[in-house]
Amino acid sequence: MIQSLHIFRKDARHLWLDLALYTVLLICFGLVTPQVWEGATVSNTLLQTFATLLKTLIPITWLVIIARLVHDESLVGDQQFWITRPYTWTSLLGAKLFFLAICIILPFVAMQCFLLLHAGLNPAAAIPGQLLSLLYFALILWLPFTVVASVTATLSRAFMSLLAALILWAGVLTILGSMAGPRMMPPFVFEACSILMGGLLMGILLYQYAVRNTARSRIALVAISLLFLGLFFCFVGMYFSSAVDILIRHHYPVSTNKSLRLTFDARPPEYENLADGATAPAGLFTVNLPVHFEGLDPSARLHDVNASFTIDLPGYHYASPWRPVTVTERSLSLLIPQDIFNHVHGTDVRMHLTVVAQRLFPGKPQIVTVANHFSVPNNGRCVFLTDHAGSNPVCRYPFQSPPPTIITGAVATQSCERSGSTRPGTATFRSISPGTSPDPVVHEPLQLGGTICPGTQLTFVEYHLVDNFRSEFDIPAIILAHYTVH
C-alpha cells in the first residue's frame, strides 16, 4: 500500500499537466453542456459543435492519460529501469488503478454531479444509475484502454491498436448486423457477455502485470476479440438457435392466465390500416398479421414484444430468429426475409407463431401540479425552458428515464393566457437505460398534444413489470402475400 501511494504520487507529479488539461476539459464540458440541452435558450450550432467536440475529446483524453500512466512503468520490453528495482507488481497495478479512480473517475463523477445539480436533480438519488453508467464506462473504455496500454510500448502504438480494433469491430458488427436485421437480445446474454469480457480483460491485465509476457497477452487480447466476433457471427448465423430458443422459452414461460391468448382474425385484410409507414431493413419484408392478444387485462401494457415463427409447406420448413415485433390493438407486424417471402408468398402455408413479452401493470397514479419548475416521480424534474407562450416543459432524469410512464392531464387548445377550451392529453415516456454519454441528464419532452399550462394537474402512472410470458399460436393456412405492408 505504501509503495502504491509512492508510485501514485510520482505519477501524479509526472502527469500534472495532463490532469490539468483534463480538468479544464471537464470544466468546459460542465459549462457548455447545459447550454445545448433540449430547449436551452442560447443554444446555437457553434456551441453544439463545441459540445460534441468536448464529448469526443473526453475519451481521447482518457486514452492519452491512461496510456502515459501505464507506460511510465512500461510492461513491454526488458530495458526499463523499474524491472530491476524492488517493485511488486501488485503495488504497481494498485497504484495505476488508484490513479485511475482518483484522477480520472473522481473528477468525471464530480462533473456529472455538477450537471445533475445544474439540472435541478439530486445526485444522491442517482447513485445506482451513476454506478451502472460508470460500470459501462469501465467495461467499454477504461479497462480496454488500460489493457491495450499494458501491451504496447508507446502512446502512438496504443492509439493505432485501438483505432484498428475499433475499425475492425465496427466494420464487422455493422456488416453482420445489417445482414441479420433487428434481433432480440436473449435474456442474460448482455450481462453474461459483459462479465465474460470484463473478466477476461481483467485477467489479461493481471497476467501482464504479474508475468510481463507481452506476446502471450497480445495473443490473448486478439483471441478475445475474435471470440466475441465469432460469438456474434454465430448468433447472427443462428448457430446457437437451439440454445437461444431454450433460454428465451425458459425466461418467458407460457402464461398461466388461460384467458390470455393470441387470436387470428380471418377477415379479409384492410390494406389501408396495414400500411404503417415503417420501412423494413434491407432484405426483409414486413408482414402485418391480423393477430392480437385476447384476455389481456385492459390496464396492462405489453413491453419488449418479440416473436419467432415457423413456416411449413410440404417439403419446406423455415424457422425465423427471434425478432422485435410491433403490436397494435388488431395486428402484429413481423419481419420476414425477402427470399423466404418470395418462396412462400402466394401459397397457403402453415404458420406457427410464438410471441414473448413483458406484461406491465400500472402503479399508483401520482398527481403533480405544473409550475415553472416541478418535480415528477422517479427523481425527475420538469421545467419550462422558454417564456414563449405555448411551449411545453422538458422533464429531466438522472442517467436513465423512468419506467414506462403514461402522463395524462388537461391541455389548452390555445395558449395559456387565453381562457380557451381544454381537452385531455396523453404522453408516454419509454424507458431508456443508462448509457455511456458523459452527460448524465436524460431529457424527455413532455408533449400531451396541446399546451400545458402552469397550475394544471398531471397524472403520472408508471408501469411496472409483473411477469414475462409466452404465447403460441397456430395458423393452419395463410397466404402471406395478403398481409404485406405496401
The answer to whether 413 and 89 have CB atoms below 8 angstroms apart is no
Q: What are the C-alpha distances in Å from 421 to residues 397, 449, 451, 454?
A: 31, 14, 11, 15
Q: Residue 3 interacts with other proteins (CB under 8 A)?
A: yes
β-partners of residue 424 are: 410
At its nearest, how many Å lie between other proteins and the CB of residue 3?
7
Nearer to other proteins, 86 or 455 (CB): 86
At its nearest, how many Å lie between other proteins and the CB of residue 87?
5
Nearer to other proteins, 17 or 282 (CB): 17
Helix (H) or strand (E) holding 333: strand 332-337
- Give the list of residues 6+ apart from residue 29 with CB closer than 8 angstroms, or none: 51, 54, 55, 58, 111, 438
Nearer to other proteins, 50 or 87 (CB): 87
Q: Residue 20 interacts with other proteins (CB under 8 A)?
A: no
Q: Residue 207 interacts with other proteins (CB under 8 A)?
A: no
Cell numbers representing residue 328 in the block? 397494435
At its nearest, how many Å lie between other proteins and the CB of residue 76?
11
Fill in the per-residue mask, 217 to 246: x = in contact with other proteins (CB under 8 A), - = not in contact. ------------------------------
Q: Residue 154 interacts with other proteins (CB under 8 A)?
A: no
Residues 59-98 that bind other proteins (CB under 8 A): 72, 74, 77-81, 83-89
Q: Residue 14 interacts with other proteins (CB under 8 A)?
A: yes
Cα 92 from Cα 98, distance rounded (Å): 10
Cα diameter, the chain: 83
- Give the list of residues 6+ apart from residue 199 with CB closer than 8 angstroms, or none: none
Cα 344 from Cα 479, distance rounded (Å): 8
Nearer to other proteins, 2 or 46 (CB): 2
At its nearest, how many Å lie between other proteins and the CB of residue 78?
5
Nearest to 172 by CA among 118, 236, 117: 236
Q: Residue 159 interacts with other proteins (CB under 8 A)?
A: no
Tell whether the torsion through CA atoms of 258, 259, 260 and 261 is positive or negative: positive
At its nearest, how many Å lie between other proteins and the CB of residue 9?
9
Cα 375 from Cα 396, distance rounded (Å): 9
Cell numbers representing residue 132 in the block? 451502472
At its nearest, how many Å lie between other proteins and the CB of residue 92?
9
Q: Residue 2 interacts with other proteins (CB under 8 A)?
A: yes
Cell numbers representing residue 88 in the block? 511488486
At its nearest, how many Å lie between other proteins and the CB of residue 77?
7
Q: Residue 264 interacts with other proteins (CB under 8 A)?
A: no
Contact residues: other proteins, CB under 8 A? 2-3, 6, 10, 14, 72, 74, 77-81, 83-89
